[in-house]
Amino acid sequence: MRGVLAAGLFALARCATMAHSDFEQIPVRSTPSGADVTLDCGRGAMRIGTTPITLMIHRKDTNCSVTIAKSGWTDMRVELHRTIAKASLFDLLAGGVAAAIVANTSIDFSAENGTSSGGDVSVSASGSGSASPALAGGVVLSGAVLVDAATGALFAHSPSRVDVTLQPRR
What confidence score (pLDDT) does residue 99 get?
62
pLDDT in tens, 153-164: 778 888 999 999
What confidence score (pLDDT) does residue 4 get?
52
3-state secondary structure of 76: strand
Q: Which residue, among 28, 18, 25, has the nearest Cα to 49 in the 3D structure?
A: 28
What confidence score (pLDDT) does residue 156 get?
83
Residue 18 has pLDDT above 60, yes or no: no
Distance set, CA 68 to CA 61, 71, 166 (Å): 19, 11, 8
Quote the mean pLDDT of the chain. Answer: 74
What band does 14 get if pLDDT is binned at 50, 70 and 90? very low
Residue 110 has pLDDT above 90, yes or no: no
Residue 135 has pLDDT above 70, yes or no: no
Q: Which residue, among 143, 132, 135, has the nearest Cα to 11 in the 3D structure?
A: 143
Q: Which residue, among 85, 105, 103, 107, has the nearest Cα to 95 in the 3D structure?
A: 103
109-127: b (≥16 Cβ within 10 Å) or e: eeeeeeeeeeeeeeeeeee
What confidence score (pLDDT) does residue 154 get?
75
Instruction: Answer with the residue of higher pLDDT: 72 or 94.
Output: 72
What confidence score (pLDDT) does residue 7 get?
52
**Counting beta carbons within 10 angstroms of the beta carbon of residue 89, is it exposed (0 to 12), middle (13 to 18) or buried (19 or more)?**
exposed
User: What is the pairing mode between strands 36-40 and 46-50?
Assistant: antiparallel
What band does 117 get if pLDDT is binned at 50, 70 and 90? low
Rounded distance between C-alpha atoms, residue 170 and residue 131, angstroms: 70
pLDDT in tens, 47-84: 999 999 999 998 888 889 999 999 999 999 999 998 87
